[in-house]
Amino acid sequence: MRWPPFEHVFFDCDSTLTTVEGIDVLAETLGKRQRVELLTQAAMNGQVDLDEVYEKRLRTLRPTRQQVRDLRHAYKRNMVEDAAPVIAALQALGHKVYIISGGLEEPVVEFGISLGIPRERIRAVQIAYNELSGQWWEKNPEDDKRYMTYTEGALTVSDGKAQIVRELMGDQRGRSLLIGDGMSDVMAGQAVDLFIGYGGVVSRQKVREAAPIFLECQSLAPLLALAGGPGAVRALNMWSMQYQSLSSKARYLLHKEVVSFNDEQLESKFRKAFLEPQTAPITGG
């Protein structure tokens, strides 16, 4: 029983690639963090449907376009450990990497592009701004415009990410994997071959219980092995020092028991592939 590579790797953004929730950063900036954070956590923990709180949070905040754009800085400053090199390594190995986020489009897209992910593989929520808010009579009033509405769609409801996965996959072949921290990510697991719950930023009990695999580690390095397979780990050892170091870190963390399972067959395959001594060369295919 081999551990196969997953050619398509889908990431959530907030609390998966970055340690912050963008909407909560906006709330703190505008002095409304406590009220909005409670709504965010209720949705992420599956206590209420996302569509019940999405507009409520934005209506409460009514951020300007510049305040929304500035989230990109918070995303980059608070990047999850090893997120950038893991994405670079996966793409160097030939994997296709995607971001599917219920966050706001402008900052999520810019953050994703800074990680080297092509624009066409990034999906987030579009919002519209009030043309008559702010200093609308000025020559360049764009930054002062305040939130007016958002584009309702798959990413603003709890069970919508699966639809986006299918759209991005289209008729492409290859195994697919999704990693994320929230219940909306768990629901999207139905559209991929493997869902991995991520608890390196926030460990949600419902996600831990529902995910076939749960990764609880501040670093994303172990994902390199889980997505690429043992063959990827071996291949990276023959590349640059940066990739060798990342590969070694992934193996070290896997032995630290940062991965837990709700699927006995997956756990058996994992242990044979990564933890037990190998008597013959392993390939990633």
What is the spatial distance between Cα 171 and Cα 181, in angstroms, rounded to a whole number?
Answer: 27
Q: Residue 42 CA to chain centroid, in angstroms?
A: 19
In a domain, 271, yes or no: yes
Q: Is the pLDDT of residue 126 over 50?
A: yes
Query: The CATH number of the domain where 194 resides is what?
Result: 3.40.50.1000
Phi then psi for 185, rounded to 5 degrees?
A: -75, -40
The answer to whether residue 281 sits within a structural domain is: no
In a domain, 285, yes or no: no
- Count of the separate structural domains present in the chain: 1
Distances, alpha carbon 227 to alpha carbons 188, 193, 194, in Å: 17, 11, 9
Instruction: Write the single-letter amino acid at 56.
Output: K
- Domain-embedded: residue 212: yes
Is residue 1 situated within a structural domain?
no
pLDDT value of position 195: 99
Structure-token pair, residue 162: 């699966």
Confidence (pLDDT) at 218: 98
Work out the average pLDDT over 196-204.
98
Q: Establish if 226 belongs to a structural domain.
A: yes
Task: Quickly list H helices, the chain.
Answer: 22-29, 33-44, 50-61, 65-69, 71-77, 83-92, 105-114, 161-169, 183-188, 205-210, 221-228, 230-236, 241-254, 264-270
For residue 262, is it within any domain?
yes
Q: Is 171 exposed, middle or buried (0-12, 13-18, 19+ CB in 10 A)?
A: exposed
DSSP β-bridge partners for residue 195: 178
Distance of CA 55 to the CA centre of its chain: 22
pLDDT value, residue 144: 66
Q: SS3 for 54?
A: helix
pTM of the model: 0.90
Q: Which range has the worst mean pLDDT, 3-17, 35-49, 215-229?
A: 35-49
Asked if 71 and 25 count as a contact pair (C-beta separation under 8 A), the reply is yes
CA 240 to mean position of chain CA atoms: 26
Q: Which amino acid is at 137?
A: W
Range of the domain at 202: 8-275
Give the integer Cα–Cα distance in Å for 153 and 73.
Answer: 26
* Comparison of pLDDT for 110 and 41, the residue scoring more: 110
For the segment 223-281, what is each residue's pLDDT rounded down to a tens digit? Answer: 999 999 999 989 998 888 889 999 999 999 999 999 999 999 999 999 999 998 654 44
SS3 185: helix
The pLDDT value given to residue 141: 52
pLDDT tens-digit profile of 135-172? 544 545 556 678 777 788 888 887 889 999 999 999 99
